[in-house]
Amino acid sequence: MIQLKEIHTQKEMKQFVLFPFSLYKNNPYWVPPIIKDEVASFDTSKNPVFEHAKARFFIAIKGNKVIGRIAAIINTYEIEKQNLKKMRFGWFDVIDDIEVTKVLLDKVKEIGKDHNLEYVEGPVGFNNLDKTGVLIDGFDELGTMITWYNHPYYKEHLEQLGFKKEKEYLENKFLFDDIKIQKYTKASNILQKRYGLTALNFTKTKDIMPYVDEMFEVFSKTYSKLSTYVPISDAQIQYFKNKYISFINPEFIKFVLDKDQNIVAFAIIMPSFSTALQKAKGKLFPFGIFHLLKARKKPKDVTFYLIGVDPNYQNKGVTAIIFDEFHKTLANKNIEYCIRTPELEENTAIHKLWSGFNPRTHKRRRTYRLDL
């Protein structure tokens, strides 16, 4: 008999976080989180995302063994301000038993109906900075720290239970050696002179911090028209600063400023921590931290994590300045692949932006919807 148990204590939350470690044991493509960080991210007293979101966490148990997990999420901002009556679910993992999947999703549906919501969508996180989508193609590609990995049967379970495709996301990568930088260098020089723009580079993390709030303003302007956009609060920005910015190599953050020193474009890339996280096995200490620091200093691959352009400059080609600056930074670091985070299939502008890099779509992921 399948038992559904709601998570209430930190000890129980560790059960929730540890389940994928057994589900994907010895899988060469799954990338584990740092257990302590994952547990902390679900703590309402630590993560400011809970200012505008509510979540309930469940594990499915058979005998004494955990066989599935799910987070049922309500983003109060999108319901109250955007009038999207959506019930979210995320952190969804399950053995290959559709009855377990049904029990987990029935609980999500029940919560949605109790709150008079109109449909369920997932897997999604709390907001735009969280992981999104169930993997539907690319199961033999190494995962990343900012995406979920899953077995192929997840898609089949959802579709058998009546869920339909809602949004599709593409993940692309390209060889660093395939970048023809000459045209971007030429365009960068022209654009800087034409519009009075300058590139801003960093070598110290402390010098980046004063710009982060303004960077998120540009981020909001860039993505606010997308159907998936949910605003990010000041407290969440501060949380992001503390959790991520200090761990990103400052050379991997680029800004473009106008003549008044306002940010008009930015980009953040991150070293690929995937292999390092696999070696760390969910723990920073005693040795995990060394694997991560090595990856930070000498990455084999890099991930384009965030990129944003002020709408007033989106048709002026200013990303050429960013690409040129990144190429200067990475040219002597023996980078093999540049990886892009999931991008909406319908976002033709972003696909056009990268078209000159000879990208290859190596993964596809999807969110699913069920009307209540």
DSSP code of 228? T
Residues 6 or more apart whose Cβ sits within 8 Å of residue 152: 139
pLDDT of residue 355: 84
Encoded tokens for 354:
């990268």
pLDDT of residue 244: 78
Q: Hunting for tokens 């900012």 — which residue is that?
A: 146
Encoded tokens for 371:
């009307």
Distance CA 336, CA 313 (A): 30
Asked if residue 242 has pLDDT above 90, the reply is no
Greatest mean pLDDT among 136-145, 241-250, 339-348 lies in: 136-145
- Over range 11-29, report the average pLDDT: 97
Distance CA 223, CA 235 (A): 19
Classify 217 as helix, strand or coil.
Answer: helix
Q: Count H helices, E strands: the chain? A: 13, 14
CA dihedral 176, 182, 183, 185 (to 10 degrees): 100
**Beta pairing class for 253-257 and 198-200:** antiparallel
Q: What distance separates the 2 farthest-apart alpha carbons in the chain? A: 70
Asked if residue 99 has pLDDT above 80, the reply is yes
Full-model pTM: 0.92
**pLDDT one-digit tens code per residue, 326-344:** 999 999 999 999 999 999 9
End-to-end CA distance of the chain: 26
Q: Hunting for tokens 């257990």 — which residue is that?
A: 35
Q: Is 63 exposed, middle or buried (0-12, 13-18, 19+ CB in 10 A)?
A: exposed
Please report, for residues 215, 245, 330, the alpha-carbon distance to residue 268 in angstroms, rounded to integers and kept in the order given: 10, 10, 13
- Angular region, 67: left φ>0, alpha ψ -120 to 50, beta rest: alpha
- Over range 69-94, report the average pLDDT: 94
Asked if residue 82 has pLDDT above 90, the reply is no
More confident site: 326 or 306:
326
**pLDDT one-digit tens code per residue, 295-305:** 988 899 999 98
Encoded tokens for 87:
């019930």
pLDDT of residue 34: 96
Asked if residue 364 has pLDDT above 90, the reply is yes
Encoded tokens for 83:
């009038």
Asked if residue 246 has pLDDT above 90, the reply is no
Asked if residue 107 has pLDDT above 90, the reply is yes
Which domains are present in the chain? 3-171 (3.40.630.30), 174-363 (3.40.630.30)
Among candidate residues 106, 113, 68, 69, the one with its CA nearest the CA of residue 87: 113
pLDDT of residue 227: 62
- Over range 233-243, report the average pLDDT: 82
**pLDDT one-digit tens code per residue, 3-13:** 999 999 999 99
Distance CA 188, CA 322 (A): 8
Asked if residue 251 has pLDDT above 80, the reply is yes
The helix (run of H) or strand (run of E) holding residue 274 is helix 274-280
**pLDDT one-digit tens code per residue, 170-185:** 999 999 998 989 999 9
- pLDDT band per the 50, 70, 90 thresholds, residue 147: very high
**pLDDT one-digit tens code per residue, 204-235:** 999 999 999 999 999 888 877 766 677 778 88
pLDDT of residue 237: 82
